[in-house]
Structure 1
Amino acid sequence: MSAVSLERKPLITRDLNKFELEIANLMQKIEVEKSHKSDFEIRQENDKKKAESKVFSESDLDQAAQQTAQDFLDLSTEELQHFKQASRVGGDQENNYRTTKRALDRNLLLLVSEKVGDKEMWILPQGKRKEGETLRDTAERVLKDKCGNLLKAKFLGNAPCGFYKYKYPKAKQGETMGAKIFFFKAQILDGNVELNGGPCQDFHWATRREMEKLPHEYLKAIRLFLIDEEH
């Protein structure tokens, strides 16, 4: 069997933690102390000297009608007061688990809800290999079969990034004792999952914390090839 680990990578950087913030402030302080004066600072000093000297040439009188450094600072300060930063979260989309426009600073992993045996479970999109297919061929087909044609993804390599094996219940064991699932990594490029009454009953773009809904041993196998991040 093949399964697809489809991710949406972070769209913005995460907020700095306490330690990172202390380092950033220290580096900013050092940069300010050791940096050369900017053109604006030099312009301010020149304007101040001219105002204090009370001796103006014709060129100074011409420049007086132009914008001074203080005028520029006042206008910039006023503009800054009206500036509002864009939200770092998904706004009203944040609690919509079917959209990729949430948790913008986190990795999101696609989980689908399917009936496995007699149980409804959250898993990665997966399916059995058909005759003549490579494992990657199966992974690409499974993603289309389970999630529809609107979802565009880029597969990262031809080889599996991990695997998970399990035993069938004794009542269903025949010539084979169990199955092995090979995972392939991919990243979403565009689109989203189509439900349309297909095999996928529901889906969830999950953060690392929300992946806890996966079966425990299955989750352990997946975490081996995912880049971890702080909660």
Structure 2
Amino acid sequence: MTVTSAIASFAVVAGMLTIMPGLDTALVLRSAITLGRSRAFATALGILSGVLVWGMAAAVGASAVLTASQLLYDVLRLAGAGYLAWLGIGMIRRTIKERGRPASGDTADGVGAAAPEATWARCWARGLGTSLLNPKNGVFYMAMLPQFIPGDAPHLLMGVVLATVHDLEGLVWFSALIFGTQLVRRWLNRASVRRAIDALTGTVLVGFGLKLALGDT
């Protein structure tokens, strides 16, 4: 297998994974709808940063340790479950607190006003934490990446290249989702809709957390 054919083959697999509905898509959509375009891109970049870290780790064999050690896997799994539950409960609590407040107007990027605590950096960190604390990401890269690294290629460099390919595909997909929300921004800008999105996303996050904690794959 040549480097070119390896990259092309991995791009197909990673592309299919990217467009599958999941936690990452839910987080980015929620940010685009309730916090605005810039915060959504911050969330997306955080997720993609985590993907790059996992790719590098898999290339040097760190995720092999995670896969081989049940204790380490369980620790990361429970940490991820707690983190997702914390995010989800926080969203649900904000939904309850914001009921009865007057609706906010449009913001510069066409969606509802972002909460004061939802800074660009915090949105990026939220995306990064969600990606890094998901052990399934490590297992995926451990299982898939070695198959697309030619024997004569530098493993770390090839891992970075493949993870970057995955990131570029993710950036295209997330951009389509984020800009797509602008087509219905007047409807999405309603406070009741934003609260419903937060409540739904929060519930999904708590559900993902419980599923991860119970070890249900």
TM-score, scaled to structure 2: 0.21
Query: Relative to total residues, which structure has the larger helix share, 1 or 2?
Result: 2
Query: Relative to total residues, which structure has the larger strand share, 1 or 2?
Result: 1
The structure whose RCO (Cα within 8 Å, separation 6+) is larger is 2
TM-score, scaled to structure 1: 0.20
